[in-house]
C-alpha cells in the first residue's frame, strides 16, 4: 500500500470547511467517517497516515478482524473514509487561532484552513526531560527506547534508565544483561509500574535504584559520559558516570500549536474531555490517545469510537452556529 | 449464517469464570474479545446474538467495512471472539446476586454461573407506560412502532401518539396522512425533538397537541376505544376516543434482574458508569447502549469500544481479587 497522500498544490492554498480534523490515525478516521456521514464538509490534515498503527505489524484486537496487517487496516480505514469524498492532506498543522466564531489553521507548508469546528486527534509523542545535553546527545548515548538500543551498550561499564513505569522497569531489566551496571533513576520513592516488573528489577544485583532523584544535566563530549542528578529530599547533587541514558518517561500530546487557545490538559499533559468529546474550548473537540479518557487503555477501537463521538459533538456545534447565523440579520 | 448458539446440556449445569458477560451484541463481543486477550476465563450469556444489529440490514458506519450486511458482521464478531475459545450461550440471565466477593447468576433455563466480575451489555428495550389496558391491548390498538403499524389505521377517525422526542414527531406526522385526526399527547409543555420535526407536526391541521398531559388508562373492549388522560397542571381528567395508541416513549435497559444489588441509574434508567466503565457496584461493569455514556449516540463502534474498556476495568478488578486471595491465608 502506498503511503503517499494528497499534498497542497501551492503554498498559498486555502480551504474552508465545517470541520478540520488534525491527525491521521484511527481517531481521525473515525471522526472523518462520521463527520462525512453527518454531511459536514471535512478536511483531514495529518503527518503520519495510520498514526500509532505504523508501530505495529499485525493486529488481532480490532473487533471483526481476526488478524490483519497494520498497513492493510490503515488502507481499509482510508478507503472507507475516502469513499465519502473526504480529502486527507499530509502536512503538519503549525498553528490554530480563533477566527470570528470559528478557527483559522496554518500548516507547515503554508496552507490556510478556516473551519467552524476542530477535532484534535494527534496521538502522542515521547516525553522528553528538557535538560541541557538531552537534545545534543540523542543517538550519541541518549535513547528513548531501551528495547531498540540496549544491545549497543554490551559490556558498557554503566548506563542509566530514567522513569518509574512499566517501560522503565523492562528497560532496566533488559539493560542489566548487557551493561555491567544499571542505575535506575526515579523522581519518586515508589514506582507506578506493575509489582511483578518492579520485583524483577530488584532481583538483579547489578541494578542500583536511585530514588527521589531527578536528572538535571546530561554530560558528554563526543558522546555521553555521565549525568548530573539531584536528590529532591536532601538537595544533594552529584555526577554519575554513564555511557548511555535511557529516557523511559512516557508519552504526551504535542500541543504547542494550539495552547494559545487556553486548551485545558491534565497533570500529564493529556487533553481534558467531557460529554461528546468536548474540550474546555467551545468548538474544539478531541479524540484518541491525546485525550484523558481511558488513558491507560489506548486501543484502535477506543480511538475510532472517540473520533466518531467527537464528530457527533462537532455536528451539534456546527448546526448550532448555522442556526445562529440564519437568525442574525447580516449587517448592511 | 446460522444463529444457533450453544445451549446448556442440562438444567443443573454450572460454570465458574472470572468474568460473566451479559448480552450478545457489539458491546458484549468487544468485552469478550478483550477479556479473553487478558487471559481471563469468560462466559457470554445473551438472548439475541448480535443485539440491536439484528434490526439493521446493511452497515456502512463500522470503520473498516465500507458496506457489510448485519448478519455478516455479527458472524465476523462471533468468529473473532470464538477464535479465543470463548463460549457464547443463548439464554437469559434472570438474577444476579452477591456471592462472597463475587457474584452468582442464574439463567432462565436454570444454569448457575459464579463469576468474580460481571459486565452488563444488555442493550435497551422499548419503554412502556405501565398503565391499565396497555398490556391487554398490545397488537389490538396499542403499538410501539408508528412506522410499522401506521397503515393499519387508514381512515380511522382518530389515533393518539404519546411522546415528545423525534420518533413521536415522526410518528404523528406519518399517522396524520392515514387517520383523520391525530392527538399528540406529551407530559411536558416543550418537545425535546429536533425543531424541524416539531415544525412539521405543527404544520399539519389534523394533529392536535395535548400538552402537560399523561395517559392514565387505555380503554377498550375487543380493541382500543379510547384513552383516559390527565392534565398535570389543572388536574383535569377526560377520555379521548381513539382507535389506536402509539407509544413512542423511548428505550431503557431491562434491569430488574440486577436491581437488588443497588445498581445506580440516571433519570432515564440508564446505568451510570465512570472510569473504565465501572458502575457504583464494585465488580460490576457496564458497556454499550445500556449505559449513560454517549447516550444520544448509540453506534456499533462505541458499543464495541465500551465493551473493550469494561474488560480492561474487569481485568484490574479480578487481578486485585486474586492478589488479595493470595495474601489472605486460607482458614483452617
Report the pLDDT averaged over residues A150-163.
96
Burial B148-177 (b: 16+ CB within 10 A, else e): ebbeebeebebbbbbbbbbbbbbbbbbbbe
Q: Does B180 touch chain A (CB under 8 A)?
A: no
Does a structural domain hold residue B177? yes
Q: What is the CA radius of gyration of chain B?
A: 23
Residues A310 and A166 in one domain: no
Residue B56's pLDDT is: 80
Residues B161 and B211 in one domain: yes
In B, minimum Cα distance to A288 occurs at B305
Q: Does A24 touch chain B (CB under 8 A)?
A: no
Task: Tell whether the model's pLDDT for residue A318 goes beyond 90.
Answer: yes
**Residue that is written with C-alpha cell 533488559 in the block:** A174
pLDDT tens per residue across span A34-49: 999 999 999 999 999 9
State the smallest CA–CA distance between residue B301 and chain A in angstroms.
Answer: 5
pLDDT tens per residue across span A5-21: 555 454 569 999 999 99
CA distance B157 to A11: 68
Q: Which residues contact A119 (CB under 8 A, 6 or more apart)?
A: A19, A20, A21, A22, A28, A31, A35, A277, A284, A285, A286, A287, A307, A310, A311, A314
Residues B277 and B215 in one domain: no
Q: Chain B interface, mutation test: which of A39, A70, A301, most B Cβ atoms within 10 Å? A: A301
Q: Are A66 and B77 an interchain contact pair (Cβ–Cβ within 8 Å)?
A: no
State the smallest CA–CA distance between residue A18 and chain B in angstroms.
Answer: 20
Residue A310's pLDDT is: 98
Q: Output the DSSP codes for A182-213.
A: EEEE-SSSS--S-HHHHHHHHT-TTEEEE-SE
Q: Which residues of A touch B304 (CB under 8 A)?
A: 63, 301, 305
Residues pairing with A327 in the sheet: none
Per annotation, catalytic residue among A18, A91, A99, A149: A149
Residues B114 and B51 in one domain: yes
Under 8 Å between Cβ of B308 and B33: yes
Q: Supply the CATH number for residue B223's domain.
A: 3.50.50.60
Residue B328's pLDDT is: 62
Q: Chain A interface, mutation test: which of B25, B63, B327, most A Cβ atoms within 10 Å? A: B63
* SS3 category, B151: helix
Rounded to 10 degrees, what is the CA torsion of B131, B133, B134, B135?
Answer: 120
- Across chain A, what does the average pLDDT equal? 93
Residue A3's pLDDT is: 43
CA distance A138 to B150: 71
Centre a 10 Å sphere on the Cβ of residue A193 and count the other Cβ atoms it contains: 22
CA distance B119 to B263: 13
Q: Does B27 touch chain A (CB under 8 A)?
A: no
Residues A119 and A267 in one domain: yes
CA distance A285 to A302: 16
Q: Which residues of A touch B66 (CB under 8 A)?
A: 79-80, 83
If phi over 0 gives left and psi between -120 and 50 gives alpha, with beta otherwise, what is residue B207?
A: beta
Percent of chain B with pLDDT over 90: 83
Told to judge if A145 belongs to the known catalytic residues of this protein, a careful annotator would answer yes
* SS3 category, A322: helix
pLDDT tens per residue across span A299-310: 999 999 999 999
CA distance B7 to B330: 36
| Domain-ending residue, one of B247, B272, B301 | B247
Q: Does B66 touch chain A (CB under 8 A)?
A: yes
**Where residue B186 falls among pLDDT bands split at 50, 70, 90?**
very high
Centre a 10 Å sphere on the Cβ of residue B220 and count the other Cβ atoms it contains: 18
Residues A162 and A22 in one domain: no
**Where residue B12 falls among pLDDT bands split at 50, 70, 90?**
low
CA distance A298 to A302: 7
Q: Output the DSSP codes for A113-150.
A: EEEEEEEE----EE-----TTTTTTBTTTEES-HHHHG
In B, minimum Cα distance to A73 occurs at B64
Q: Does A298 touch chain B (CB under 8 A)?
A: no
Does a structural domain hold residue A166? yes
Find, among A68, A91, A92, A19, the residue nearest to A310 by Cα. A19
In B, minimum Cα distance to A36 occurs at B61
Q: What is the CA radius of gyration of chain A?
A: 23
Q: Which residues contact B80 (CB under 8 A, 6 or more apart)?
A: A63, A64, A65, A66, B29, B33
| Domain-ending residue, one of A247, A269, A284 | A247
Q: Which B residues in the span 301-320 are in contact with A, Cβ-Cβ below 8 Å?
A: 301-302, 304-306, 308-309, 312
Q: Which of A29, A64, A308 sits opposite B302 (nearest CB)?
A: A308
Residue A326's pLDDT is: 74
Task: State the first-to-last Cα distance of chain B, in angstroms, to the nearest integer.
Answer: 53
Percent of chain B with pLDDT over 70: 95
Alpha carbon B123 to its chain centroid, in Å, reads: 4
Does a structural domain hold residue B134? no
State the smallest CA–CA distance between residue A78 and chain B in angstroms.
Answer: 8
CA distance B204 to B198: 10
Residue A5's pLDDT is: 53
Per annotation, catalytic residue among A145, A157, A266, A325: A145
Residue B115's pLDDT is: 98
In B, minimum Cα distance to A78 occurs at B64
Residues A33 and A80 in one domain: yes
Q: Are A64 and B61 an interchain contact pair (Cβ–Cβ within 8 Å)?
A: no
Find, among B60, B105, B85, the residue nearest to B283 by Cα. B105
Under 8 Å between Cβ of A126 and A132: no
Q: Which residues contact B106 (CB under 8 A, 6 or more apart)?
A: B93, B94, B95, B112, B113
Q: Are B64 and A83 an interchain contact pair (Cβ–Cβ within 8 Å)?
A: no
| Domain-ending residue, one of A202, A224, A247 | A247
pLDDT tens per residue across span B50-73: 998 887 889 999 999 999 999 999
Told to judge if A148 belongs to the known catalytic residues of this protein, a careful annotator would answer yes
Residues A98 and A185 in one domain: no
Report the pLDDT averaged over residues B89-98.
97
Residues B117 and B255 in one domain: yes
Q: Which residues of B touch A294 (CB under 8 A)?
A: 276, 309, 312
Long-range contacts of B231-235 (CB under 8 A, 24+ apart): B232/B187
Which residue segment(s) compose the domain that A192 sits in?
142-247
Overall domain count for chain A: 2
Residue B331's pLDDT is: 44
Does a structural domain hold residue B69? yes
| Sheet with A142-143: strands ordered across | A142-143, A244-247, A159-162, A182-185, A207-210
Under 8 Å between Cβ of A197 and A170: yes
Residues B120 and B256 in one domain: yes
- Could you tell me the three cell numbers for A250? 512516557
Q: Output the DSSP codes for B18-73.
A: EEEEE--SHHHHHHHHHHHHTT--EEEEESSTTGGGGG-SEE--STT-SSEEHHHH
Does a structural domain hold residue A193? yes
Does a structural domain hold residue B3? no
Residues B97 and B185 in one domain: no
Does a structural domain hold residue A45? yes
Residue A332's pLDDT is: 41
- Could you tell me the three cell numbers for B191? 418537545
pLDDT tens per residue across span A182-215: 999 999 999 988 888 899 999 999 999 999 999 9
pLDDT tens per residue across span B282-329: 999 999 999 999 998 999 999 999 999 999 999 999 988 988 877 665
Q: Which residues of A touch B306 (CB under 8 A)?
A: 305
* SS3 category, B143: strand
CA-to-CA separations, B269 to B4, B135, B190, B282, B284, in angstroms, rounded:
31, 21, 21, 19, 16
Q: Does B84 touch chain A (CB under 8 A)?
A: no
Residue B106's pLDDT is: 97
Length of chain B (residues): 332
Does a structural domain hold residue A70? yes
**Residue that is written with C-alpha cell 391491548 in the block:** B137
Instruction: State the count of interchain CB pairs (< 8 A) between A and B.
Output: 91
Q: Does B178 touch chain A (CB under 8 A)?
A: no
CA distance B93 to B43: 12
Q: Which residues contact B327 (CB under 8 A, 6 or more apart)?
A: none
Per annotation, catalytic residue among B18, B91, B149, B289: B149
Residues B117 and B163 in one domain: no
* Alpha helical stretches, state H, chain A: 26-37, 70-82, 146-149, 166-175, 195-202, 300-327
**Where residue B4 falls among pLDDT bands split at 50, 70, 90?**
very low
10 Å CB burial of residue B73 (0-12, 13-18, 19+) is buried
CA distance B234 to B232: 6
Q: Are A66 and B83 an interchain contact pair (Cβ–Cβ within 8 Å)?
A: yes
10 Å CB burial of residue B329 (0-12, 13-18, 19+) is exposed
Q: Which residues of A touch B60 (CB under 8 A)?
A: 37
- Across chain B, what does the average pLDDT equal? 93
Task: Tell whether the model's pLDDT for residue B251 goes beyond 70.
Answer: yes
Report the pLDDT averaged over residues A115-124.
97
Q: Does B85 touch chain A (CB under 8 A)?
A: no
Amino acid at each position: 500500500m502506498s503511503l503517499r497522500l494528497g499534498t497542497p498544490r501551492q503554498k498559498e492554498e486555502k480551504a474552508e470547511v465545517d470541520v478540520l480534523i488534525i491527525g491521521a490515525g484511527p481517531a481521525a478516521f473515525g471522526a472523518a467517517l462520521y463527520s462525512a456521514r453527518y454531511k459536514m464538509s471535512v478536511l483531514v490534515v495529518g503527518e503520519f497516515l495510520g498514526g500509532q498503527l505504523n508501530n505495529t505489524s499485525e493486529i488481532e484486537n480490532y473487533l471483526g478482524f481476526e488478524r490483519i496487517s497494520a498497513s492493510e487496516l490503515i488502507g481499509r480505514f482510508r478507503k472507507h473514509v475516502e469513499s465519502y469524498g473526504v480529502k486527507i492532506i499530509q502536512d503538519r498543522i503549525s498553528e490554530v487561532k480563533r477566527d470570528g466564531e470559528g478557527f483559522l489553521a496554518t500548516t507547515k507548508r503554508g496552507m490556510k484552513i478556516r473551519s467552524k469546528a476542530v477535532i484534535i486527534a494527534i496521538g502522542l509523542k515521547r516525553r522528553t526531560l528538557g535538560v541541557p545535553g538531552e537534545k545534543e546527545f540523542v543517538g550519541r548515548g541518549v535513547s528513548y527506547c531501551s528495547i531498540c538500543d540496549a544491545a549497543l551498550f554490551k559490556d558498557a561499564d554503566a548506563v542509566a534508565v530514567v522513569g518509574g513505569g512499566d517501560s522503565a522497569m523492562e528497560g532496566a531489566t533488559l539493560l542489566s544483561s548487557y551493561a555491567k551496571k544499571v542505575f535506575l533513576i526515579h523522581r519518586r520513592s515508589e514506582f507506578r509500574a506493575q509489582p511483578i516488573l518492579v520485583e524483577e528489577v530488584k532481583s538483579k544485583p547489578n541494578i542500583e535504584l536511585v530514588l527521589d532523584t531527578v536528572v538535571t544535566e546530561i554530560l558528554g563530549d563526543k558522546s555521553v559520559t555521565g549525568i548530573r542528578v539531584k536528590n529532591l529530599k536532601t538537595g544533594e547533587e552529584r555526577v554519575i558516570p554513564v555511557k548511555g541514558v535511557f529516557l523511559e518517561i512516557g508519552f504526551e500530546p504535542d500541543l504547542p500549536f494550539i495552547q494559545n487557545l487556553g486548551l485545558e490538559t491534565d497533570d500529564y499533559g493529556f487533553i481534558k474531555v467531557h460529554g461528546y468529546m468536548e474540550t474546555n474550548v467551545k468548538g474544539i473537540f478531541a479524540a484518541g490517545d491525546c485525550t484523558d479518557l481511558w488513558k491507560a487503555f489506548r486501543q484502535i477501537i477506543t480511538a475510532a469510537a472517540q473520533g466518531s463521538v467527537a464528530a457527533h459533538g462537532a455536528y451539534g456545534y456546527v448546526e448550532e452556529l448555522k442556526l445562529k447565523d440564519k437568525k442574525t440579520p447580516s449587517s448592511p
